[in-house]
Amino acid sequence: MRFRLGLVGWVSGFFLLLAAVSAQSNEADQLPMFGQPEITRPESLKKADEAFIRDSTLRFGNRQAGSDTLAMQGWTAIRAKKSDMAMQYFNQAWLLNPKNYRVFWGFGALMSERGRLNEAIEHLETARELVDDPVQRVALLCDLGTVHSEYAARLPADRELERAQHFVKANSRFTESLENDPQYAMSWREWAMSLYEQGRYSEAWVKVHRARELRAEPFPPEFLKKLSTKMPEPK
């Protein structure tokens, strides 16, 4: 799936990445938060992290500015399909500010791309708790609803209760997103596809029509074909 961080504007932070990669080149680098707390950070890397924080604070003026810049570099890397580089950026942004919602949103996006949806949900729910921008909250909730739905749809039949619980959460997140911004077309679009997976076909068509009215990204033809098979489009 595609994630929709709506922020614009960033400056190049590539030189910072190059300076830190050599000191942080172990397997944990490709895990959110360097695998912490499950993986203990070696003392040598802790010292490198401290040096990186000091240097970045001087370069950017404060830790928040550095964290935001590196997080945006992470999103740029995601769009360029450079997931390893994106994880390095997000981990560095996390070092500078462990409560930056953009970082956890990024972790969620990367875990989703890797098919680790349960972990993606954990990071996205953390981002939801931390986000303080009402505009960004709308898109984040849409992404969260989508991942809850995708996870539920992949669960086997013998986990029906868990499946139902995640669909309930998906509906809750889509509802909250649209309560914040009823004109956010992507939430209508993603909710329509989620409702199809829930077997709620008439409601799915309602969301399809609203998404079209708001000129959302076109639905995949195979989705509309499947939905029409289950229930002809209401006129």
pLDDT digits (tens, 9 = 90+) for 120-140: 999 999 999 999 999 999 999
pLDDT at 15 > cutoff 70: no
In a domain, 3, yes or no: no
Domain boundary among 88, 107, 131: 131
Residues 119 and 139 both lie in one domain: no
Residues 61 and 138 both lie in one domain: no
Give the model's confidence band at 3: pLDDT under 50 very low, under 70 low, under 90 confident, else very high.
low
Residue 139: the pLDDT is 97
Residues 18 and 108 both lie in one domain: yes
User: Domain limits at 48?
Assistant: 8-131
Domain boundary among 76, 102, 131: 131
Q: Per residue, what are the HEC states of the chain?
A: CCCCCCCCCCCCCHHHHHHHHHHHCCHHHHCHHHHCCCCCCCHHHHHHHHHHHHHHHHHHCCHHHHHHHHHHHHHHHHHCCCHHHHHHHHHHHHHHCCCCHHHHHHHHHHHHHCCCHHHHHHHHHHHHHHCCCHHHHHHHHHHHHHHHHHHHHHCCHHHHHHHHHHHHHHHHHHHHHHHHCCCCHHHHHHHHHHHHHCCCHHHHHHHHHHHHHCCCCCCCHHHHHHHHHHCCCCC
Residues 109 and 175 both lie in one domain: no
Cα separation, 139 vs 94, in Å, equals 21
pTM of the model: 0.86
In a domain, 2, yes or no: no
In a domain, 220, yes or no: yes
> How many domains are contained in the chain?
2
Residues 141 and 154 both lie in one domain: yes
pLDDT at 72 > cutoff 50: yes
Residues 30 and 50 both lie in one domain: yes
What is the mean pLDDT of the segment spanning 145-171?
Answer: 97
Q: Of residues 15 and 146, which shows the higher confidence score?
A: 146
In a domain, 194, yes or no: yes
Cα separation, 76 vs 71, in Å, equals 9
Residues 13 and 126 both lie in one domain: yes
Give the model's confidence band at 235: pLDDT under 50 very low, under 70 low, under 90 confident, else very high.
confident
Residue 26: the pLDDT is 60
Q: What CATH number is associated with residue 127?
A: 1.25.40.10
Residues 40 and 150 both lie in one domain: no
Cα separation, 90 vs 67, in Å, equals 8
Residues 119 and 34 both lie in one domain: yes
Residues 139 and 64 both lie in one domain: no
Domain boundary among 79, 103, 131: 131
Stretch among 3-17, 34-48, 90-104, 185-199 having the lowest mean pLDDT: 3-17
